[in-house]
Amino acid sequence: MRGTMPDAKKADAVKKADDARNRADAASSHTLLEGRLGYQLESALLVRALTHRSYAYENGGLPTNERLEFLGDSVLGLVVTDTLYRTHPDLPEGQLAKLRAAVVNSRALAEVGRGLDLGAFIRLGRGEEGTGGRDKASILADTLEAVIGAVYLDQGLDVAGELVHRLFDPLIEKSSNLGAGLDWKTSLQELTATEGLGVPEYLVSETGPDHEKTFTAAARVGGVSYGTGTGRSKKEAEQQAAESAWRAIRAAADERAASAASAAEAPANVAAAPATDAGAPETDGDADTPSAPTSGPDPDPASA
C-alpha cells in the first residue's frame, strides 16, 4: 500500500500537468480562431460553440453546441435574407428563395468553415475523430452556425451581422451570377417542362464505407440518360447530374433553334433575289444589242 501512494500521486500530478497543458493549448487555439473571426468571445461560450455532441457524450454529458447552432442558423438566415431583399429589389420571391438556398446550405457553410480552418478547433469524440469528422460538411456547417450564434449572444446582432457579411458576401455575389446554377435540379425540371420532355428522375448508387461513401447519380428524362454526377452526398451527386443533363438538353434545344432560324431565312433570301426571264438570251456588251428605233415618222422612200 505504501508503494502505491507515490505512484498514485505521480499519476495525479501527470494528469494535472496534462490538463494544464490542454487548457493552455485550447486557450492558444481559441486565440488563433478569434483572430480569424476578428472578435474575442467569452471563453466558455466559445468552448460550447466548438463542442460536438460526440465529444460531450464521451466526456460525461457536457453541454453541446446544438442550441447555439439553432440560434446561429436563424441569425445567418436573417442577415442573408435581408441582404438579398435589399440588393435585389426587382427579384420575385421564388428567385430570392433560390439565392438564399444557394448561400445557406451545408455545402456552402462547410466551404466557409474550411476557409477558417474551423475543423482544427472542433472538440470531437474519438469515433468522429477516427472517421474524418473534422472535414465532414455537416459538422463544419453546424459548428460555423454555432460560432455565429455565440457571436450574437456575446456581442449582439450588429456584430454578428458584420461577421456574416465578411464571411458570406463573396458567396452571395457569386450566387447572384449563377443563373440556372442556383439549383440545377429545379432548373432541369423547368427546362424539361418547356421542351415537353417529361419529369426528370434520378438513379443513385453508393460505394465505400459508411463514413466515406461516394454517391453516383444518373439524371434520366423520358427514359433517356442525359448526365451523371458524383459527390459525398446523394444531394450533391444529383445536383451534378442535373447540371450535366441541363447543359446537354439546353445545347440540343439551342441547336434546333439555330437550324430552324436558318431554314426560315432561306426562303426569304430566294424571294428577295431579282427575277430573270429564263427564255431571254444573254447579251454580251452593246455590239450585239439591237438599236432602238428613232423617233418620228419613217422617211418616204421615194424622196431618197
Query: Under 8 Å CB-to-CB from 100, ≥6 apart: which residues?
Result: 77, 80, 81, 84
Residue that the C-alpha cell 434520366 belongs to:
220
* DSSP 3-state of 198: coil
* DSSP 3-state of 231: strand
Query: Under 8 Å CB-to-CB from 179, ≥6 apart: which residues?
Result: none
Q: How many CA atoms lie within 13 A of 165 on its CB side?
A: 9
- Please check whether residue 149 is in contact with residue 49, taking contact to mean a CB–CB distance below 8 angstroms: yes
CA distance 114 to 148: 15
Quick one: how many helices (H) and strands (E) in the chain? 11, 3
Backbone angles phi, psi at 132, to 5 degrees: 75, 30
Written as one letter, the residue type at 85 is: Y
Q: Residue 228: beta bridge partners?
A: 218
Helices 66-87 and 137-155: angle between axes, nearest 10 degrees: 80
Which of the residues 69, 128, 145, 243 is marked catalytic? 145
CA distance 29 to 123: 12
Which of the residues 69, 73, 128, 183 is marked catalytic? 73
Question: Pick from 214, 190, 219, 192: which is nearest to 203 by CA?
Answer: 219
Residue 145 is a catalytic residue: yes
- Catalytic residue IDs: 73, 145
